[in-house]
Chains A and B, each alone.
Chain A
C-alpha cells in the first residue's frame, strides 16, 4: 500500500492504494493532520484501495468531523469499489464516511 499527497491551490489530495489497515493508520493520521492544517478542501482518492478496516474508517470519520468543525470540506475524488463502500455499511455507518463525487 502507498500514500501520496498532491496539493493544489484549493485542494489537499491524498492518494491511497492497496490495503488500508492498521499498519498504515499512524502514517495516515499524520497526513490527514497536515491536510487539515492546510485549510484547503481535504480530498481522498480511494479508487485503488482494495480493503479498509476499522482503523481507516474511524480515521476518515474523524477527519470529516474535524474538517466540519474547521469549516473545511471533505470529499472522495474518484470512484470507490463496492467492497470498500460496503465496509462502511458493514461497520454500522449509514454511508461511507464521505460521499464519492
Chain B
C-alpha cells in the first residue's frame, strides 16, 4: 500500500477532492514529462505514444470532473494531437515534443488555479494552441457537450438542495452476459441530475485477445442531484454483487462525509481482470497527521524504555516478560512508522529530466542523463529539501563542467556528455551524487580565487579535497562570465546550507579533464535512530550506532605510550581519538579505565573516549531549538527511561571541528573556544520544546 501525504489543513470534502485531483495531476504531469522526453529519443515507440495519450486523457477527464474546465479544454487539443500520432496521421518530431512540454507547463499553471488566469503575461494557451493547429493542420476543438442532455433538460433538472456525488462503477467482466446493459444504468443516473461521465478503457486488451461479450470499461462519474445516496445505489441494485461500486459525497451541507462502498464478491473480484489486480491501493494522508503519528510512536518508545528499566530493576519475571513483549511490539511499530515516511527518490530525480533537456538545449550542449538508484528511499522531510540543492548542482554541472560538443571532440571525448544522478544507502545515511564527465574543476584556479577572497592564506597547505570544499563558501565563483544559468556564486553556498540543515555533508571530488563528482551524504531519517548510550562524568550522550564499529578500552598506560598524543593502536592501525570529556569541558574526575568508541566518519576512522558504554538505545530525536542551532556537534537530544536527557552527538561534525581547529592551530591562528554545553541547559530546552 502506498501512502501519499498532503499538507492541507482542515478542508471541506469538496476542497479535499479537488486537492487530491491536483496532487494526482501533478504526479501524472511528472510521468508525462518523462514519457515525452523519452519519446524525443524514441519517436517510433508506440507504447510511449499510448501512455502519453492515456495520461492526457486522464488529466482532461478528471479536470473536467473537478471543475477545471479551461484545463480540460486545453488538454483536449493536445490529446487530439496524440490521437493523430496513435493513428499514424502525425509524426513525433522534436517540434511536437517541445510544444507538448510547453503545453504541460501551461497545464501546470492552470492546475494551480492562479488568480491571474487569463492574464496574457502568463497564459500562453492561445500561442500554444495556434502552434498545435499549425502542426496538426486542424481547427481548435473543444470537448463536446453530451448530446443526450439538451439545454432544456439541464434547466429542468432542479439543483436545489443538490449534492455532488462521486461514483466509480467497475462492472465485473460477466455483467453483460447476465443481461445487464450498463448504458441503461448511466442513462438512469442522468435522469436524476447533472451527470459527468468518463469512460476508462485502460483494461481493454488488444482486439485479438478480447472476449467480445465481456465488459472491459469502467466509469468515473460526478452526479449533482438532490436524490439520496440510497436512491443512487438503487440504480445499481441488481448489479451490486457483480461490480465494484463506490459512491462518495463530494459536497454537502453536512460536516461529515458519508462514503458508501459496495465491493464485488471474492470470486467476481478475482475474475475482474487486470484492472483490479494491477491497481495498487493507496490512501492520502495529511502530512501533519503522519508527523503526529510518528511523534506519538516516539513518545511510546521513550515510555517503553522507562518501563524496561523499571522491569529490570524489580525482580518480577512476569513484569519482565510483559516489558519484553512491549519492547518487541514497540520496535515493530517504530519500524513501520518510519517506513511510512520513507519515499523513493525517483520522483525527485525524474523531475530533473526536463531541466537537463531544457538547459542542454539553451547551452547548445548534448547531454544524456542517467539515473541510478531511483528506488532508494529516504525520509519525506529530507526529500522535500533536496530539490533546490540538486537543481543547483545540475545547473553548475551543465554550465561549468560539461563542455560543448566541439570542445569535447577536440579533447578526444564523445560529443554527448554523460550526467549521472545516483542514490544509494550507506549505513544510516543515503548518498546522492551528481556526476559528470566534463572538464573537471581547476584546483589551481579555485585556490587562487580563495586566496583573493581571503579564505586561505597564500602559503596554506591544504589537500585537493579541501580546495574543492572552498567552492561551497558564500560568494565563491571562478566563472569568468555570469550566465543566466549560474555563476553568481550563490548556488553552492545554498547547497551547503540546505544539506547541513539536514545534518548532512557535501563532498566534492574532481579530476581535470575527466569530470566531477558532488556527493551529498544525508541521514536516512530525521526522527528515530539506533544509538549507543554512553556516559561521561554525570552526563549521558548518544552516538549513532550505524557509525560505530567497535568499543575498546583506553588505559593510562595506552595514553602514556602515545606520549600525550590522542592516538591509539588498534590491531596495528593508528586511530586518532577525541576525548569527549575535554571536548565538552566536563570537569569531573577521570576514571582509570575509559572506553573508546571507534566510528567511521567522513574523515576516516576516529575514536571517541567516554567513561562508560551503557548499551543500545532506540533514540527518539528531539530538536534543541533555535538557540542551539549553531552547535553543530549536537544533532539533538533524547529523553531516557529515567527521565534524564541525553545529547545526541554527531561524530562527523565532532571530527570536522577538531580537524579544522588543528589546521587553524597549525596556521598559527587563535584557537577557538571549545563548545561548552551543559546537559542541564539542554534538558530545559528539550522540555520547553516538548510542551
**Contact indicator A62/B204 (Cβ below 8 Å):** yes
In the A-B complex, list the 4 residue pairs whose CB atoms are closest, starting with the nearest. Answer: A92-B199, A92-B197, A25-B212, A68-B87
Question: With A22-B177, A55-B212 in contact, do A66 and B207 touch (Cβ < 8 Å)?
Answer: yes
Name the residue of chain A whose CB is nearest to the CB of B187.
A90
**Contact indicator A59/B212 (Cβ below 8 Å):** yes
**Contact indicator B207/A26 (Cβ below 8 Å):** no
Using C-beta atoms within 8 Å of the partner chain, give the interface range for chain A: 35 or more
**Contact indicator A66/B217 (Cβ below 8 Å):** no
A86 sits at the interface (CB 8 A)? yes
B201 sits at the interface (CB 8 A)? yes
B441 sits at the interface (CB 8 A)? no
Question: With A32-B207, A54-B183, A66-B207 in contact, do A90 and B190 touch (Cβ < 8 Å)?
Answer: yes
Q: Which of B142-150, B302-310, B655-663 contacts A (4 or more CB under 8 A)?
A: B142-150
CB distance from B587 to the nearest CB of A (A): 78
* Cross-chain pairs A/B with CB under 8 angstroms, 11 sampled: A29-B207, A32-B207, A33-B207, A62-B210, A65-B204, A68-B87, A69-B46, A90-B148, A91-B183, A92-B217, A95-B144
Chain A 54-85 per-residue mask, 1 if CB under 8 angstroms from chain B, else 0: 11011101111111110111100000001001
**Contact indicator A62/B206 (Cβ below 8 Å):** yes
Using C-beta atoms within 8 Å of the partner chain, give the interface range for chain B: 20 to 34
CB distance from B177 to the nearest CB of A (A): 7
Binding site for B on A (CB under 8 A): 22, 25-26, 28-29, 32-33, 36, 53-55, 57-59, 61-69, 71-74, 82, 85-87, 89-95
User: Other than the known A62-B210, A90-B148, what 4 A-B pairs have Cβ atoms closer than 8 Å?
Assistant: A53-B181, A82-B147, A90-B186, A91-B197
A33, B46: Cα distance in complex, Å: 20
Chain B 55-89 per-residue mask, 1 if CB under 8 angstroms from chain A, else 0: 00000000000000000000010000000001110
Question: With A71-B88, A92-B199 in contact, do A54 and B181 touch (Cβ < 8 Å)?
Answer: yes
A28, B407: Cα distance in complex, Å: 62
CB distance from A20 to the nearest CB of B (A): 11
**Contact indicator A33/B197 (Cβ below 8 Å):** no
**Contact indicator A89/B208 (Cβ below 8 Å):** no
Name the residue of chain B whose CB is nearest to the CB of A69.
B46
B198 sits at the interface (CB 8 A)? yes
For A64, list chain B residues within 8 Å (CB). 87
**Contact indicator A68/B86 (Cβ below 8 Å):** yes
Chain B 166-182 per-residue mask, 1 if CB under 8 angstroms from chain A, else 0: 00000000001100011
CB distance from A64 to the nearest CB of B (A): 8
B216 sits at the interface (CB 8 A)? yes
A72, B86: Cα distance in complex, Å: 10
A69, B88: Cα distance in complex, Å: 7
B609 sits at the interface (CB 8 A)? no
Name the residue of chain A whose CB is nearest to the CB of B148.
A86
Name the residue of chain A whose CB is nearest to the CB of B46.
A69
Binding site for A on B (CB under 8 A): 46, 76, 86-88, 143-144, 146-148, 176-177, 181-183, 186-187, 190, 197-199, 201, 204, 206-208, 210, 212-213, 215-217, 219, 221
A61, B176: Cα distance in complex, Å: 18
Question: With A65-B86, A91-B183, A93-B199 in contact, do A55 and B148 touch (Cβ < 8 Å)?
Answer: no
A58, B216: Cα distance in complex, Å: 8
CB distance from A39 to the nearest CB of B (A): 13
A28, B213: Cα distance in complex, Å: 11
For B182, list chain A residues within 8 Å (CB). 54, 91
Name the residue of chain A whose CB is nearest to the CB of B84.
A68
A39, B187: Cα distance in complex, Å: 37
For A82, list chain B residues within 8 Å (CB). 147
CB distance from A19 to the nearest CB of B (A): 11
A33, B146: Cα distance in complex, Å: 31
Name the residue of chain A whose CB is nearest to the CB of B175.
A54
For A73, list chain B residues within 8 Å (CB). 87
A45, B152: Cα distance in complex, Å: 32
For B76, list chain A residues within 8 Å (CB). 94
For A22, list chain B residues within 8 Å (CB). 176-177, 212-213
Name the residue of chain A whose CB is nearest to the CB of B176.
A22
**Contact indicator A85/B147 (Cβ below 8 Å):** yes
Question: With A28-B212, A65-B86 in contact, do A89 and B204 touch (Cβ < 8 Å)?
Answer: no
**Contact indicator B87/A91 (Cβ below 8 Å):** no
Name the residue of chain A whose CB is nearest to the CB of B200.
A92
Name the residue of chain B whose CB is nearest to the CB of A74.
B87
A26, B213: Cα distance in complex, Å: 7
Question: With A59-B210, A68-B86 in contact, do A89 and B146 touch (Cβ < 8 Å)?
Answer: yes
A31, B144: Cα distance in complex, Å: 30
**Contact indicator B86/A69 (Cβ below 8 Å):** yes
Contact of A90 among B146, B212, B213, B216 (CB under 8 A): B146
For A63, list chain B residues within 8 Å (CB). 207
A91, B197: Cα distance in complex, Å: 7
**Contact indicator B217/A58 (Cβ below 8 Å):** yes
A36, B210: Cα distance in complex, Å: 15
CB distance from A87 to the nearest CB of B (A): 6
A57, B197: Cα distance in complex, Å: 15
**Contact indicator A29/B143 (Cβ below 8 Å):** no
Name the residue of chain A whose CB is nearest to the CB of B88.
A71
**Contact indicator A90/B183 (Cβ below 8 Å):** yes
CB distance from A81 to the nearest CB of B (A): 11
Contact of A68 among B88, B144, B197 (CB under 8 A): B88
